[in-house]
Structure 1
Amino acid sequence: MSLPPGFLDELRTRLSLTDVVGRKVMWDARKSNAGKGDMWAPCPFHAEKSASFHVDDKQGFYYCFGCHAKGDAITFVRETENVSFIEAVEILAREAGMPMPERDPRAQEQTDKRSALAEVNEAANRFFRLQLQQSGGAEARAYLDKRGMKPETRDRFEIGFAPNGNALLRALKDQGISAELAIEAGVAAKPDDGREPYDFFRDRIVFPIRDGRGRLISFGGRAMDPNARAKYLNGPERLLFDKGAALYNNGPARAACGKGQTLVVSEGYMDVIALSEAGFEATVAPLGTAITERQLQLMWRMSPEPVIALDGDTAGLRAAYRVIDLAMPLLQAGQSLRFAILPEGQDPDDLIKTKGAGAMQEVLDAAVPMVTLLWRRETEGKVFDSPERRATLDKALRDAIRPITDASIKGHYGEILKEMRFQLFRPQRSGNGGARGGGGNGAPRRAWVPGSGGQGRYQVAAVPTAGLKASMIVSGDDNNADLMREAVVLAVLICNPGLALQFLPQLEGLHTRTEEHGALLHAILTHAEETDAAALRQNVIAMIGQEALDRVMSHPHVQIAPPVRRPDADTAQMCLTEELTKLKARRGYRAELDEGVEALLAADDEKLTWRLRQAAEARNRATKAEAEDRTEFDVADNGLALSRSEREAFHALLSKINPQK
């Protein structure tokens, strides 16, 4: 509701912040000066022994020099009571003796109606609780005893019993409550064929459902008959009750969250009761249906990162996966979910009864973030032994995170999933350094490579046999060439949105030389479906920053690239094809050289020179245009054009295999 101008100012004027805060703290008499309204106390928002919490009563503000909590009387009530703004205002208005502003007449009529229906439910609740204590509730009491629910727990959660027949309607009639009002409240129903109204809950253990303000809005019933059509039944949706916007145990859980407990979301009434009795008081449950968006928003108002505790069976995992898809578009910084998967075949009630609260705490402590469960959903039980299957996984992951609206969160999801994908597909080499000859157990070996023209020799490195790579003998010029080509590729993609999808396999297999290039490539792929250049640029900047993008775009080779200077789809496509082909060929050559050096140090290989020559030929065919721009080219023994660093490495390999060559 909207408040008239001046109402809050008047409220703050009438209240003493010292009085409001004084209900929650113990003032430090040595530091405080009540006459000046200068009060000090240990902070109620974090554990401490010293008095670092300061209240300035004249200004009407508080501040903690330890945890930096600050605000006014309304903020204090909101934070300590874990209530909404309007609820905090209502609490303070009652304390100050100020009536709340009049509402719209129709809105007031609805409010009055809701209050009347809540009273009907309270009357029904008294009836149900009484029935549980009488002879007709013996079987229900026996069931609760079997489940280990103590009498004091039944009282705490107001558990009742609804007998067969229409006993509730008769009891309500005796109190002057009409059948029509009982139907509106949801505790009675009327058949469509015009027959007489009947009790909605019959032969069921009854659980009252209250909203965050404590109003009794409906009931849930557990059937005593094992053959009943529905084991659990919620009251019908009426003016007072919308099950998609309500949570069982809402009020007590919200208060517990205000004291620092983590919000736990379980599946049903009995789980909530078992968890609460075990000390996990910040526990709620949806009302017999899958979690809804409104329930998620309600949870996030209580706690920034609720833990969804689900059974470890197939149904529990399916429910978790549905929650992931629901939550993705709603994610914000500091607003997410974690998932605690219980042992298969056990719910929280079972686990606590068999192994105690400590076992449940271990499950909650092991709760995983959404991204972990998302990866599990897309990979568990699947085989990715072909390019098509891998591409299917890539598409599924992109589709899953596409609904995320926060660019930063989407970027972090993409980074983590990319790393998981890399770990899944990373080739695993067999064997170790010691097994491949010399320096057992991977001990370091020294490799001596002759200099150009027989001018002495130099030591490459002291490394494990399997660790010597061609990158150790590749010149800085080659690295610079790769960086230049990567920069051109990235800039072309930025200036020509939409092309990333056409080159997706090549781009996903492009292992960039620097982390900055990798971050930029990831940002581009995250927004690969964006077709507006300005929007793509802004999304990329949001993920990697303006400076990183500027460094790439200011590269001299980037600035003269035609599809960057004048974006054009056809020109950009030709440029990307050429640059990506050259990068692939150059890196293929180095990969062969890596394996050649490794094989050379381990054992002679008569096929080695052939492999190197084939790799070099592929490399030169793809990059022959570079030869005109480079000054230090020579001809190897096989007639191939190589750079100086590559020539030296090649001579070293040949001389090792055939010393006379």
Structure 2
Amino acid sequence: MTLSPQWLDELRSRTTLSTLIGRTVKVQKAGREFKACCPFHNEKTPSFTINDEKGFYHCFGCGAHGDAIRWMTDQRGLGFMDAVKDLAAEAQMEVPAPDPRAAQRQEARATLHDVMAAAQDWFVAQFNGIEGAAAREYLKNRGISEKTIRDFGFGFAPDSRGRLKEALSVHGVDQLVEAGLLIKVDDRDPYDRFRGRLMIPIRDPRRRVIAFGGRILGHGEPKYLNSPDTPLFDKGRTLYNLDKASPASRQTGRILVVEGYMDAIALAQAGFEDVVAPLGTALTEHQIERIWKMVEAPILCFDGDNAGQKAAMRAALRALPILRPSHSLNFIALPAGQDPDDLIRSEGPQAFGALIDQPQMLGEKIWQVEFEAEPLNTPETKAGLKKRLSHHVRDIADQDIAQHYRQDFQERYENAFFAKRDNQSRQRPFTPSKGGFKSPYVPFKPMDDTKSVLIDGYDLRIAKGILGGLMRHPSQISKHFEELTVLRLADSQMQALLSELIRAAMRKEMLDMQGLLTILEQTDCYNVAKGLLRADALNFTFNRKMPDHAPSDVIERAQNDLAEAIKVITARPGLEAALAEATRRVQDNLDEESYAEQQRLRQAKQEFHERLVEITQVDDIV
């Protein structure tokens, strides 16, 4: 399909941008333009402007800029062609078809969309009727609100082999079969696929119904039944709730992945709107790639039972061959026997929020699963662990990433079985105080033989926040030379930027942010630096934009928090190594002293994390 510049210009001219944006963002008239609080970053004072005459929007805070098509792709999460088609439909413009066969396929898909929309309306009508009482009672017992029922479009399929076929007969049996609504076996008369089930519509990013999931009410198998693959629906490429989660993730900077639609619906009702779910299968490579287009490290929240943890491990192993720099998976482990809905109903949304604040990295997840797979009490079983880990590394196509995993697994293996006990490892490693963190595990001496500290996984996100903080507070670079010079960031672009920041501070003693950006403009790191200044997903105090005449105590607070964050990520590897050694001693000796030391180290690790959360979750400083 060829869309000429002239056709696209006509589409933009027929679209009133302020009206389009005003459907999801509150806009105000400001002279010949409109203004609003930017939907791409958190702000209280409007810096987002919309110019209908010129057909573009621009944010003076984060630099977001674009036209109507860009709005649909960036804010709504649509692909380019889907965005064009939606805008063209509103503008009453025909999208050029590439060739007659493609036009016929497009027409067929449009007809199937009509069929699915009609089926959705019929299921909702049955849900609200007399026969839908059991379905309504089921949702009431699960704590699903009326608003959630409307938002997610719950319906009901009566326990009949022909009611839907009769109600939608105007569309023809062949269309109903092709849409997956009827089952046709050999020459027998087609019959309704969904019978006696609570119906859940599955939508595409354009919010069109493309399939259904049906939950049995009462006894019967299968408990959940999905539509078959159709011209509209590919189960392995589709994610439930993507239409709502995609725009929500642009506000939160994350995506949560759960096992099924009821988990996703329960979390969305509890305020976690950035949640998706696969459809009755383990997370596929296509689905992982789709999620990576929205966030770099989605959080997988699978049930705490064996089946849930096996599903998490399957997702981890499917991700290994397609890993690329800065893109990975994170995990949380729910309490044994609980799903997200159980946890929220028993302990409230804050309990789930606490879990997703402490995700487990991909490498740590694989290590944990393999380490706990069997008793490691013989040389043969220990060698088996090493072989399994080696096979996982071999599956990683990106050789730089594979090397980092190889090194990480080797260090964990050595810490588990060969680490030597020493007197220092018996010391309490962490003492929180008003002045900051103190730890014997922080290697701050800038000596030639100083072992570098590898920063990856979750700590890499913190490091990105630190780099943004150093650019807003360049005077702090020289104050932390020793810590910064031992950092080795797994992201090559971030490592290059860190090196340039250190080099700039060494060359020029007095630096402000603008002067630093001027220096970086001559390097390959400038765009990365500007991107970090716009990003506010971590929301640290030291990442906030400072007013021109900020009070000295506000600046001091941000700089102190920056210093503590630097110490956390440089200290944590030593703390993790000490904890691994303590855990090994507990497993080997089971003595009270080893157990007490392990608990002290776990508490220290928790205090590190709590301080980071405290730095992040603060009131606005301006």
Contact 1:300 1:306 in 2 (8 A): yes
For residues 539-564 of structure 1, give each alpha carbon's deviation from its aligned partner in whole angstroms, at most 9, with x where no partner exists: xx99999xxxxxxxxxxxxxxxxxxx
Change (3 A) 1:73 1:201: closer
Q: How do residues 467-506 of structure 1 correspond to structure 2 at under 5 angstroms?
A: none
Change (3 A) 1:210 1:204: same
Cα deviation, residue 291, structure 1: 1.3
Q: Secondary structure at the match of 1:259?
A: helix
* Alpha-carbon distance between aligned partners in 1 of 2:21 and 2:176, rounded to the nearest angstrom: 43
* Alpha-carbon distance between aligned partners in 1 of 2:124 and 2:495, rounded to the nearest angstrom: 60
TM-score in terms of structure 1 length: 0.59
Cα deviation, residue 276, structure 1: 0.9
Q: How do residues 84-483 of structure 1 correspond to structure 2 at under 5 angstroms?
A: 84-93=79-88, 98-172=93-167, 175-192=169-186, 194-226=187-219, 228-260=220-252, 262-384=254-376, 388-429=380-421
> What is the RMSD of the two structures over their aligned residues, measured on CA atoms?
3.7
Contact 1:275 1:348 in 2 (8 A): yes
For residues 78-98 of structure 1, give each alpha carbon's deviation from its aligned partner in whole angstroms, at most 9, with x where no partner exists: 222222222333344456665
Q: Which residue of 1 aligns with 2:482?
A: none
* Equivalent AA in structure 2 for residue 202 of structure 1: R
* Alpha-carbon distance between aligned partners in 2 of 1:250 and 1:208, rounded to the nearest angstrom: 12
Contact 2:165 2:192 in 1 (8 A): no
Moved more, 203-212 or 133-142: 133-142
For residues 294-348 of structure 1, give each alpha carbon's deviation from its aligned partner in whole angstroms, at most 9, with x where no partner exists: 2222222333322111011211111111101111122223322211211110111
Q: Secondary structure at the match of 2:170?
A: coil
* Equivalent AA in structure 1 for residue 224 of structure 2: Y
Change (3 A) 1:76 1:142: closer
Identity %: 41
Change (3 A) 1:106 1:409: same
* Equivalent AA in structure 1 for residue 182 of structure 2: A
* Equivalent AA in structure 1 for residue 202 of structure 2: I
* Equivalent AA in structure 1 for residue 360 of structure 2: V
* Alpha-carbon distance between aligned partners in 2 of 1:433 and 1:98, rounded to the nearest angstrom: 71
Change (3 A) 1:26 1:159: closer
| Match 1:67 to one of 62, 71, 74 | 62
Cα deviation, residue 400, structure 1: 1.0
Cα deviation, residue 201, structure 1: 1.0
* Alpha-carbon distance between aligned partners in 2 of 1:402 and 1:85, rounded to the nearest angstrom: 36
* Equivalent AA in structure 2 for residue 420 of structure 1: R
Contact 2:178 2:230 in 1 (8 A): yes
For residues 271-310 of structure 1, give each alpha carbon's deviation from its aligned partner in whole angstroms, at most 9, with x where no partner exists: 1111111111121211111111222222223333221110
Structure ranking higher on relative contact order (CA contacts 8 Å, 6+ apart)? 2
- Structure 1 portions without partners, runs of 5+: 435-440, 443-482, 484-512, 520-540, 546-661
* Alpha-carbon distance between aligned partners in 1 of 2:2 and 2:312, rounded to the nearest angstrom: 38
* Equivalent AA in structure 1 for residue 133 of structure 2: A
Contact 1:172 1:178 in 2 (8 A): no
* Alpha-carbon distance between aligned partners in 2 of 1:251 and 1:433, rounded to the nearest angstrom: 51
Contact 2:40 2:250 in 1 (8 A): no
* Alpha-carbon distance between aligned partners in 1 of 2:206 and 2:454, rounded to the nearest angstrom: 51
For residues 88-111 of structure 1, give each alpha carbon's deviation from its aligned partner in whole angstroms, at most 9, with x where no partner exists: 333444566653223322122112
Change (3 A) 1:330 1:427: closer
* Alpha-carbon distance between aligned partners in 2 of 1:56 and 1:152, rounded to the nearest angstrom: 35
* Equivalent AA in structure 2 for residue 47 of structure 1: N
* Alpha-carbon distance between aligned partners in 2 of 1:386 and 1:347, rounded to the nearest angstrom: 36
* Alpha-carbon distance between aligned partners in 2 of 1:107 and 1:11, rounded to the nearest angstrom: 22
* Alpha-carbon distance between aligned partners in 1 of 2:38 and 2:493, rounded to the nearest angstrom: 37
Contact 2:258 2:277 in 1 (8 A): yes
Q: Secondary structure at the match of 1:276?
A: helix
* Equivalent AA in structure 2 for residue 103 of structure 1: P
Moved more, 136-145 or 363-372: 136-145
- Structure 2 portions without partners, runs of 5+: 429-447, 456-491, 497-622
Q: Which residue of 2 aligns with 1:657?
A: none
* Structure possessing the higher radius of gyration over alpha carbons: 1
